[in-house]
Amino acid sequence: MDVIVITGTPGAGKTTVLNKAIEMLEMRYDVINYGNEMFRVAEENKIVNDRDEMRKLPPETQKRIQKLAAKTIAEKAENAPIIVDTHCTIKTKKGYLPGLPKWILEELNPTAILLVEADPEEIINRRSSDETRMRDREHVLDIEDHQQLNRAVAMSYAMMTGATVKIIKNHDEKLEDAVRQMKDILG
């Protein structure tokens, strides 16, 4: 069965688009948040007690948990189609961390990768809940960079797995367009 990966930088509206698309579908997907699944697996294997500990794990342990989580998801996909909610890249102090490195892709074997995007200005507005909205030039360039790097890394995920990469623009006042596009792919 299909494993479909859904990604989007915070503020792009990934979850909103996904939930609305799923409501309209006949097909039943299991939606799995990859971060949650990693924590579940780590807890089950007595590697951590709480979520905070996840971040402090040595790289090799983290890699092992990532693989285990991917394997569990792939097993579930034998029975039902799965949507994996995760990140193309995660912006950290050390730089952009790939959400789906090789060892995850090899277990997960996604058939499609969806990137929900919006204009940087739209993302900045959606992220800010208060009056003081930052729309400075540097911030816009940062989000532009992030989305560009997400695209680049998504294409390397595609090379590795053969998955299709679909970009879904979720512009303000155009949510229905984004939902329809996602629905068409989830089928």
Residue closest to 149 by CA, chosen among 107, 110, 99, 111: 99
Name which of 95 and 129 has its Cβ closer to a copy of itself. 95
Per-residue interface string for the shown chain with a copy of itself, residues 14-53, x marking contact by CB under 8 A: ----------------------------------------
Interacting residue with a copy of itself among 105, 118, 179, 182 (CB under 8 A): 105
Measured CA to CA in angstroms, residue 2 lies from 48, 69, 81, 185 at distances of 30, 17, 5, 11
The answer to whether 39 and 33 have CB atoms below 8 angstroms apart is no
Task: Using CB under 8 A, count the residues that bind a copy of itself.
Answer: 40
Residue 61 interacts with a copy of itself (CB under 8 A)? no
**Binding-site member from 96, 121, 127, 139 for a copy of itself (CB under 8 A):** 96
Q: Which of residues 108-167 bind a copy of itself (CB under 8 A)?
A: 111-114, 145, 148-149, 151-153, 155-167
78: tokens are 């034998």
Run of H or E including 161: helix 137-161
DSSP secondary structure letters along 162-175: --EEEEEE--TT-H
Binding site for a copy of itself (CB under 8 A): 59, 63, 89, 92-98, 100-103, 105, 111-114, 145, 148-149, 151-153, 155-167, 184-185
